[in-house]
Chain A
């Protein structure tokens, strides 16, 4: 391939350049969100593992007392949101890479989004219920 053909100015359409989008439409946004959630998850995961170790073997009342604190509830909600966002972005790439064919790919992407969205919402509602009760 010569240098002229490799120039991104020629490879991209005028509309694509104007909108700042590549062939993946929203690839940069996806990539960026994956990194932002990864950064957020570093302290949140460390905090959660430490908390989970302290709660290991404890009765339900201990979990309710722990999750009843507004600070803990805030961090738990942040953890659930960041985890499920990161999970959806990651699983999306895995499905896009390994499921070939437009219809099966669309099916698995939508099924994955539906399941992760429901579990994420269930986690959030559980956090809110524990925080408020």
Chain B
């Protein structure tokens, strides 16, 4: 038997056609035109998932430091390998994006910045801040290394 909640999934488009409501991720696909707002929203999720993976690597580094010289050497070897550097660069870029866009979300939670021009301006500011912070982080790493 079809679930009775299925009745809620039927909708009508503005030109009168009966359609099945799109399920998430409906922001990607034919239902919506790609926009800065939706693209930054999905990037927030993607970077969040990426950061989860990166955090597992940081836990490996912490556990290795707590375990032995040999296991710390293994973790350090991976971090300093080309793949390790690529991971760390991706991790810092994802971190700064999620950090800046997260603060943008917190402003919304306080009720600020909902006007469309402000939403677009803050979105562009998040992208700029991400680029600046990522480059700055790596300049500091290279200079102090």
A-side interface residues toward B, CB under 8 Å? Answer: 35, 38-39, 42, 45, 49, 53-54, 56-57, 60, 63-64, 67, 76, 80, 83-84, 87, 90-91, 94, 97-98, 100, 116, 119-120, 122-123, 125-127, 129-130, 133
Contacts and interface: CB of A to CB of B under 8 A. Distances in A.
12 contacts: A38-B102, A53-B141, A56-B141, A57-B80, A60-B72, A60-B73, A63-B72, A90-B52, A97-B24, A123-B58, A126-B66, A126-B67
B94 to A, nearest CB: 12
B20 interface: no
Nearest to B105: A38
A53 B144 contact: yes
Contacts of A83: 55
A122 B105 CA distance: 30
Given A42-B99, A90-B48, A122-B59, A54 B144 contact: yes
B52 A87 contact: yes
Contact of B23 (A42, A45, A100, A120): A100
Given A87-B52, A94-B48, A100-B23, A129 B66 contact: yes
A56 B55 contact: no
Given A35-B106, A39-B106, A122 B72 contact: no
B65 A64 contact: yes
B45 A123 contact: no
Interface string B57-90: 0110011011101001100100010000000000
A29 to B, nearest CB: 15
A61 to B, nearest CB: 9
B132 interface: no
Contacts of A56: 141, 144-145
A32 to B, nearest CB: 10
A65 to B, nearest CB: 11
Given A76-B62, A84-B55, 8 more contacts: A38-B102, A38-B105, A49-B137, A60-B76, A64-B65, A122-B59, A126-B62, A130-B66
Given A35-B106, A91-B52, A130 B99 contact: no
Contact of A38 (B65, B69, B106, B141): B106
A57 B77 CA distance: 10
B121 interface: no
Contact of A98 (B25, B48, B76, B99): B25
Given A39-B106, A54-B144, A45 B99 contact: yes
B140 to A, nearest CB: 6
Nearest to A100: B23
